[in-house]
Amino acid sequence: MRIGIRLGKVVVFVLLLFLTLKLTSSPDCEFTRSIREAIRAYNEHGREALPELSSSEIERLLRGQVVKVRSRLRAGELEEYAGEFFHRVAGFYIVERSQRDVWLAAIDPHLWQNDLNTGYRIFSDGKGGCRRYQHLALPWPIADRHWVIDLSLGVELAEASNGTVWEYSWNLAPDGEAIAQEIVGDGKVAGLCLKDLEGAIFLPLDFGGWIAVALSPTRTLLIYHVATDVGGRIPDCWIALYAMSQLDAMLREVGELSLRAGEHYREGHELIWDGLGRPLPKIGDGGA
């Protein structure tokens, strides 16, 4: 009798062990670990830490949902920002495409159009980064907004993650308002003159980034994060709420664009760099 009881306990133990091993080795568990490791790697090398996702939030990601997080953070070491707090939003979405396709869909400027937003590239650094001027025309009585940003690749982050995590980020350029006056005054921005800048508000805060995390050869975690203060009388919390409301559509649109982004990037297209700072091959010159 005792032998039978012991044998029964052994069988139950073995079954529980088998189920535990099966669960912990399932693809979803592997993806969960990869997501947590990617966020941890970003937080070690990025500018502002991404929020850690709960188990339920990761489960929602794996079910194809967009996960959104809004944070109110102390300005701390942001010397260029006069405010005490700022709002930051982050969106997470899994796309069933390669890291390359999702990356192209997120950062290829040809795939994104905004009739209200006038842009001008001031210079490129030859390594995937650039400086851009942006002018957003808004309906009266709201004042136009404009800003100058430096965009760059997170090469250190990509190297530290063995190429798993790619980021293309931006931040306001030093002396941006003076730069804006100069290039618009020189007639370099089509359709704009100095009179258009009268009353326009220069953004006091704007930084963020696109992140593409390779979870597998055909599955990518797409992350978008941004912190913006548009100045004037518009509270930054309103901007954060608006940004949160747009995240679902924007991230899903990148997912849709990733279906054709690789085909769009072919001979004749402007060169785009990957997260490690390497030129991405185009279709027709050895690209996939």
Helix (H) or strand (E) run with residue 112 in it: none
φ/ψ (deg, to 5) at 118: -100, 130
Helices (H) and strands (E) in the chain, counts: 8, 9
pTM: 0.86
CA–CA separation, 105 vs 270, rounded Å? 14
76 has pLDDT over 90? no
CA–CA separation, 241 vs 74, rounded Å? 18
CA–CA separation, 8 vs 4, rounded Å? 6
Taken in order of first residue, the domains within the chain and their CATH numbers are 24-264 (3.30.530.20)
Token readout for 197 is: 């800048």
pLDDT digits (tens, 9 = 90+) for 190-238: 999 999 999 999 999 999 999 999 999 999 999 999 998 888 888 878 8
Q: Give the pLDDT band of residue 262 (cuts 50, 70, 90).
A: confident
pLDDT digits (tens, 9 = 90+) for 12-55: 443 444 444 444 445 578 889 989 999 999 999 877 789 999 99
pLDDT digits (tens, 9 = 90+) for 87-100: 889 999 999 999 99
Closest CA to 51 of 37, 66, 71, 33: 71
